[in-house]
Amino acid sequence: MQSTQVRLASRPVGEPRDSDFDVVTVTLPDLEEGQVLLRTLYLSLDPYMRGRMSAAPSYAPPVELGHVMVGATVCEVVDSRSPDRAVGDVVLAYTGWQTSAVADARGTRRLDPDAAPVSTALGVLGMPGFTAYAGLLEIGRPKPGETVVVAAATGPVGSAVGQVARIRGARAVGIAGGPRKCRALLEELGFDAAVDHRSPSFRDDLAAATPAGVDVYFENVGGPVADAVAGRLNRFARIPVCGLVAGYNATSAPEGPDRLPGFMGRVLRLSLTVRGFIQDEFVPTHHADFLRDMTGWVRDGSVRYREDVVDGLEQAPEAFRGMLAGRNFGKLLVRVAT
């Protein structure tokens, strides 16, 4: 069995270029006991992957040069030497940017195609949905009537944050780029208000959308959007920090002035809670509740989701660049095979 793989050829400086990736086709080894042969159906593209392309210290080791780019996948089992996985099973795996892979069966989780479309295991019912659920409920802790703001709000994390906030009785304000995404926030995803960060009146629009200030700012972008929200925070506001995608391609510390003293002054004056997190931390305590709650909400329509599907593994680098620039519209997936 052959596999086409996208490997990391060089560490990007700034925005990843095509030359930072190598595409190669290899013959996979025979299965050993306990292993399965997987055919990739969907590859998930997520902002954290930009961090793995850099050598800088982070919460997970970088992808080594010459190795396959990492990533979560939904795969079909095409051969099995594990009693727990049958040919034809569809599983969640972590096989990365490739068309086929040999994997340890224990590293996969079987999906029920009748419960929900299998692609949702990479989005609303997967890591992004769990990031939203755990970060919002455990760190953000929105109370009924409070205002929750999230950016990249049509993305898989942001759209779940807003909708779960509403389920908890809070007012959900989404920030997104462009009128099309803002319309989707109001018409598809049920946000209470949508603000376009590309509009020249962004700061005024944000103020108008948050008349009672902001109690929870779910931080996944950083940059100028975060700056604008900071000016709206209420005393005792909570800021779960799960991503800072605006700066992921930065090559040096931005020019001054130095905003850190002003930020810390605000933390002090407003008794803010700023809490970084990686969703893994909450898996032992919250994942079972998440699967139960979120599956129920998706089924009964109280949580909706949006997917942005690109066809063909060869499109992955360009789609990934687009995501870092905010050009995706919903959870970005690569359909590798059908």
Q: Which of 49, 28, 38 is nearest to 74 (CA)?
A: 38
Q: Which of 188, 184, 175, 268 is nearest to 214 (CA)?
A: 175
Which is closer to a copy of itself, CB of 107 or CB of 262? 262
Which is closer to a copy of itself, CB of 249 or CB of 302? 249
CA distances from residue 151 to 41, 103, 193, 231, 232 in whole angstroms, order as listed: 29, 36, 12, 15, 14
Kindly state the smallest distance separating residue 138's Cβ from a copy of itself, in Å: 12
Contacts of 321 (CB under 8 A, 6+ apart): 15, 16
Which ranges in 124-251 belong to alpha helices (H)?
Answer: 127-134, 156-167, 179-187, 202-209, 223-230
Kindly state the smallest distance separating residue 52's Cβ from a copy of itself, in Å: 12
Which is closer to a copy of itself, CB of 63 or CB of 102? 63
| Chain residues in the site for a copy of itself (CB under 8 A) | 57-59, 219, 222, 226, 235, 241-244, 247, 250, 252-278, 281
| CA 318/CA 6 separation, integer angstroms | 12
Which is closer to a copy of itself, CB of 90 or CB of 134? 134
Residue 134 has phi, psi (to 5 degrees) of -70, -45
Q: Which of 179, 161, 178 is nearest to 170 (CA)?
A: 161
Kindly state the smallest distance separating residue 244's Cβ from a copy of itself, in Å: 6
Which is closer to a copy of itself, CB of 85 or CB of 238? 238
Kindly state the smallest distance separating residue 239's Cβ from a copy of itself, in Å: 9
Kindly state the smallest distance separating residue 43's Cβ from a copy of itself, in Å: 24
Which is closer to a copy of itself, CB of 59 or CB of 112? 59
